[in-house]
Structure 1
């Protein structure tokens, strides 16, 4: 599809003068996976539309944590971080999640035709309406639904991003921690999620195991021994004799990281 065909078939513009101007001024820009397209505070000089690839917009909260605001992965989606105005600066960061192509036209050219052509006004109004509805849907989903429902909605709304976007970016977008998202994904796959970390349980220890602490972790009893300057971690499987306060022999294997 040529640039002109995009404006004709996707944006449904018909005015020859407008099409000629946009076709002459527009270019296709390519970006590598992970490349920052716009940084918060950068001037917005182009109106961009997604041709291929995937995008993510994000910002940093007061604590410096990266928060994903939105994703885009469908052909024709506008990649405009703010209202279309002259000398406006981006309020947010825009990143290419994968190798990405954008159709870009100068803001001043677009604004001049919006001011002269009612069809351009219609296109711009439709894009604003679509963006408003999308962001309101996201706000309602994140604030009014459970974490599992949010994840299910994400898979339906952004099927192109499954296996593409990192879990931490999806989690921040859905308003949950990466640990919660990982637990939900394991449950969806039919696997039982790991229990919440470390709850202390009462057990009976032998005299040689004094100054010890017993912790329940992933269905196993972890006995932390502290003798003089030596610290050891023993992983003991729970046996049938647990009800008697005794532990089976372990294999000294450390548990894997819970992240």
Structure 2
């Protein structure tokens, strides 16, 4: 597991074996069963989490009991609640495993120290945050401006593996449409 994380880091920045050992020393692996929580609403998020294998979703449940999926994270993606991590306030979100998942966790304090001690890590984090910000902006535009069919086609183009791995109800929630609408769209797209 640490080897796949090392491969990921080395694909983005150059670090020494000693620097990686420093990172590994403060990292832990958590295995999640399908539907098992990594974070529950009301808990404070204290980690930087890297998905080693599997798939998780970040979502919120409204007062009516409806789930609203904010995002998914698969292998080689980071996940977590940045607001809770940075503020120390309880999270408004849940994170659970869509399928059996392994996540590498590094506590906030340890991660901050590593970024100070290993400048390449700070550079990598900066790049990830920039790309995440752009992706969020684009997702907001799609959500606001696209029709239901355009949203689905956009997801198929950007994340074709998600369509195969994620239950349709979760995809519908992510797209902001009903499962019935998604089913109708999928049938039209197949024709």
TM-score under structure 2 length normalisation: 0.87
d(CA) in 2 for partners of 1:107, 1:23:
14
- Alpha-carbon distance change, 10 to 50 in structure 1, aligned in 2, over 3 angstroms: farther
- Alpha-carbon distance change, 29 to 120 in structure 1, aligned in 2, over 3 angstroms: same
- Alpha-carbon distance change, 91 to 119 in structure 1, aligned in 2, over 3 angstroms: farther
Residue aligning to 1:97 = 98
Where does the alignment leave 5 or more consecutive residues of structure 1 unmatched?
191-259
Where does the alignment leave 5 or more consecutive residues of structure 2 unmatched?
none
d(CA) in 1 for partners of 2:183, 2:9:
43
Residue aligning to 1:70 = 71
Residue aligning to 2:164 = 163
Give the match's secondary structure for 2:78: coil
Whether 1:182 and 2:172 are equivalent positions in the alignment is no
- Alpha-carbon distance change, 130 to 88 in structure 1, aligned in 2, over 3 angstroms: farther
Give the Å deviation of 1:7: 6.2
- How many correspondences in the alignment? 189
Give the Å deviation of 1:18: 3.8
Residue aligning to 2:35 = 34
- Alpha-carbon distance change, 20 to 88 in structure 1, aligned in 2, over 3 angstroms: farther
d(CA) in 2 for partners of 1:79, 1:72:
6
Give the match's secondary structure for 1:55: strand
d(CA) in 1 for partners of 2:8, 2:167:
33
d(CA) in 2 for partners of 1:32, 1:144:
36
Give the match's secondary structure for 1:63: coil
Give the Å deviation of 1:184: 0.5
Structure showing greater relative contact order (alpha-carbon pairs closer than 8 Å, 6 or more residues apart): 2
Give the Å deviation of 1:109: 0.9
Residue aligning to 1:139 = 140
Q: Contact 1:82–1:91 at 8 Å: present in 2 too?
A: no
d(CA) in 2 for partners of 1:80, 1:187:
35
- Larger C-alpha radius of gyration, 1 or 2? 1
Give the match's secondary structure for 1:33: coil
d(CA) in 1 for partners of 2:89, 2:18:
26
Q: Which runs of 4+ in 1 moved over 6 A?
A: none
Q: Contact 1:86–1:107 at 8 Å: present in 2 too?
A: no
Q: Contact 1:34–1:97 at 8 Å: present in 2 too?
A: yes
User: 1:72-113: per-residue Cα shift (whole Å, max 9, x none)?
Assistant: 22x210112215537454331101000111122222111112
Whether 1:2 and 2:40 are equivalent positions in the alignment is no
Q: Contact 1:31–1:100 at 8 Å: present in 2 too?
A: yes
Give the Å deviation of 1:12: 2.2
Residue aligning to 2:82 = 82
**Structure having the larger proportion of residues in helix:** 2
